[in-house]
Chains A and B, each alone.
Chain A
Amino acid sequence: MFFDLYTTVFLITILILVITAVDIWNNRLMSKKTAGWAVLACVMIALSTSGEFIDALLNGSGIGWTFVHLGGRFVEFCCAPVICIALAFAYGSPIHGGVAVKSVIAHILFEIVCVFFGLIFYVDEINLFHRGPLYLMYLAYFMSTVVYAFITVIRKGKAYQTDVDAVLYLILSILSVGVIIQFVDSRIRVFYLCMAVINMLLCIRNDKTMLQVDAVTGLLNRKCYDVDLSEHKGDFILYLFDVDLFKQVNDTYGHATGDLCLQTVAAIILDAFGSYGQCYRIGGDEFAAVVEMDLQQQIQAESRFRQLVKDARNHDERMPDVSFGYSRHRDDHHIQSMIDDADENLYRNKMAGRKNV
């Protein structure tokens, strides 16, 4: 039957790729460059799956159409590794980006050479597809691009305090399902459906990450702070930070310096407290951290924080001091009174700090 389940799956794959591409193109949260990479990933998946579709139609169909079959497979083998590299650039923070791009180009050149000698794959005279002697090399390269993409995505998540969460595990399991099925029985052609779905899920996850982040400092934004505080369970500590005399920095050195100073403070807070919980920018020059730590860790983190601020101030004289205060959550403690306590603590520290100067 011509219109079977596989054709439906193929159609669905193409459709969700189109939807993703349209959505990315209208997405104002992404820069044009990242959007370009994301759309490239969609196009590559579409080309690969079309190549596979041609193979499904022609494989073993007898004499004739051999060239079309070979061409379809060739397109698929060339495009497939580009998918993951494009995904890495679109949704991750790439390391050694230049090397990755060069490897893709080298791979395509290699494919062109190999297709004449049938080294990676070949199609015989009755239109049957066969793996060549170097097929495993192709597979190894492809898997390494997959690993590369995931490493970059995890790196980006770390930078924006999005942990390796359930979503990422599920994305990984969809990928493994695709890869395993491809290995066990390559006649079950769902691999590119998996890739199309992964592409879309990565896009959603990336969007969500970017919306939860404050644009200037890269910390989580006010909205996240409100939600996290109200939904946090168990024992935790709320730290509030305030940049001293920030207005003066802005007025004296200009807004660019002001932004730079906020970024430095954000980096210091993330460095000292980030491993114990989440850090937020909650106002113009106000920051917060919601952390779970014991007294020993508290002393350590605070002294590290003070040291880092001191270093930054020695390094750059425009850098102002940062005061902080905290309050520990207890069961009978209302969130609002907890915030007030931390605020009061912050204010006292600030006054004490000013007196010392």
Chain B
Amino acid sequence: MRLYTATSLIAVLIVLATIADIRTNRMISKLDRRHAVICGCIIILCAVCEWVGQMVDGNETFIVVHTCAKLLELCMAPAIGVAVAVSYGDAIGTKTAIAVTLCQSVFQCIAFTQGWNFYIDAGGFYHRGIMVEVSVIAFLFSLLYGVICMIRAEIRYQAKFNGVLTLTLVLLAVGTGSLFITGYPHASYLSMALSNMLFYIEFYRMTLQIDGVTELLNRRCYETALMSVKPGSIILLTDLNDFKVVNDTYGHSAGDLCLIRTAAIMRKVYGRYGQCFRIGGDEYAVILSRHTQDIKQLNAAFTKSVEQMVSEDSRMTGVSLGYAYVNTMDEDVHSVVELADQELYRNKQKRPRVNRTKQ
């Protein structure tokens, strides 16, 4: 039991340290910081409630405290996964998730009055009710939801599904698994505290890798990706035609919209075959490493989608592109970029002139 107290204390300290780190992190927006702090507070609350419950179990004088702690824990535990999803992941159906969590809390309160989920006898001992599984299932589902939203964020921001996230899932599984194997006392909130910290790291990494406007990978990632490009890959460069004119004629918000929509088309067409980057004001790059034989079809599809966008909204503008193959290991990758750039320039010269008049 003393080991359990020690691990609970450490879990709380870990969450506090994570919160302190998030609050002083200037790279994260104010709103995200607030979400992350709330998420941490929920974990602390649950861990403390569980600890209190364990400490006063079998003690007649603290029956009220025991009851409150247990009920609070049952109500709040399923909120952890949702909080993780909102704070660090790409949350989907957030409102529904929060509503379900609230319903779960209400259900637990009602169930308590009927003694369905748990009851505490006159001796202060905790007993499971017939429907205690509901809270366990809700808890597991919320964790699953949190993990799914994290994976969605990984895909959205083209983060490589790297070892850290996989291992975090293993950690989470070990912690929650201990709940079933060892029974009380268990280490699930310790693993939750650690996973919270790791999700924060992962989220923070992703934020640093993307360009804020288009959500493509940023220039820094492009430079490092170039260094480890595999032979047989294609480097494709794109740039918007007359982007300055769009900006000057229709304003910066139209310019941004143009950048965002082009980036979205790019992700849709090339995303499955490689990584997309925004490497300058109106310049993009794609490093294609899979199925590079279809490049002509892909390019045709891309140009067609962009043309369609331009025909639908006259403020948008077309693109020019150029690409080159990375042939052998020893070839300097920057000369390949140079080749792609030259082709891009030739294509740009060839394109029909569009006359944009100020409206």
Contact = CB atoms under 8 A, between A and B. Distances in A.
B354 interface: no
B21 A200 contact: no
Interface in A210-224: 211-212, 223-224
B350 interface: no
Contact of A167 (B3, B20, B200): B20
Nearest to B208: A211
Interface string A154-184: 0000000000011100110110011001000
A169 to B, nearest CB: 8
A224 B24 CA distance: 11
B162 A26 contact: yes
Interface stretch (B191-199, B262-270, B299-307, B320-328): B191-199
Contacts of A75: none
A188 B187 contact: no
A189 interface: yes
Contact of A8 (B26, B168, B170, B187): B187
Nearest to B14: A197
Interface in A183-231: 185, 187-190, 193-194, 197, 200-201, 204-205, 208, 211-212, 223-224, 227-228, 231
Given A5-B7, A26-B162, A15 B13 contact: no
B280 interface: no
A228 B185 CA distance: 44
B3 A5 contact: yes
A110 interface: no
Chain B contact patch, size range: 35 or more
A15 B195 CA distance: 11
Given A8-B175, A167-B20, A170-B16, A200 B197 contact: yes
Contact of A177 (B10, B181, B187, B190): B10
A223 B24 contact: no
B21 A201 contact: yes
A67 interface: no
A189 B6 CA distance: 9
Interface in B78-129: none
A170 B19 CA distance: 10
Contacts of A134: none
Interface stretch (A17-25, A83-91, A267-275): A17-25
Contact of A166 (B24, B187, B194, B200): B24
B164 A22 contact: yes
Interface residues of A, number: 47
B257 interface: no
Contacts of A204: 21, 197, 200-201
A201 B201 CA distance: 10
B174 A16 contact: no
Given A223-B26, A227-B26, A8 B178 contact: yes
A15 B170 contact: yes
Given A12-B187, A200-B197, A19 B20 contact: no
Contacts of B9: 177
B25 interface: yes
Nearest to A18: B167
A8 B17 contact: no
A192 to B, nearest CB: 11
A29 to B, nearest CB: 9
B190 A12 contact: yes
B6 A188 contact: yes
Contacts of A194: 10
Contacts of B27: 208, 211-212, 223
B358 interface: no
A170 B13 contact: yes
B293 interface: no
Contact of B13 (A177, A189, A224): A177
A4 B244 CA distance: 66
B182 A3 contact: yes
A11 interface: yes
Contact of B6 (A11, A22, A181, A205): A181
A1 B194 CA distance: 25
A300 B164 CA distance: 50
A163 to B, nearest CB: 9
A3 B27 CA distance: 42
A28 interface: yes
Contacts of A170: 13, 16-17, 20
Contacts of A208: 21, 24-25, 27
B345 interface: no
Nearest to A163: B24
B186 interface: yes
A170 B23 CA distance: 14
A27 to B, nearest CB: 9
Contacts of A28: 224
B10 to A, nearest CB: 6
Interface in B151-172: 162-164, 167-168, 170-171
A141 interface: no
B296 interface: no
Interface of A: 1, 3-6, 8-9, 11-12, 15-16, 18-19, 22-23, 26, 28, 165-167, 170-171, 173-174, 177-178, 181, 185, 187-190, 193-194, 197, 200-201, 204-205, 208, 211-212, 223-224, 227-228, 231
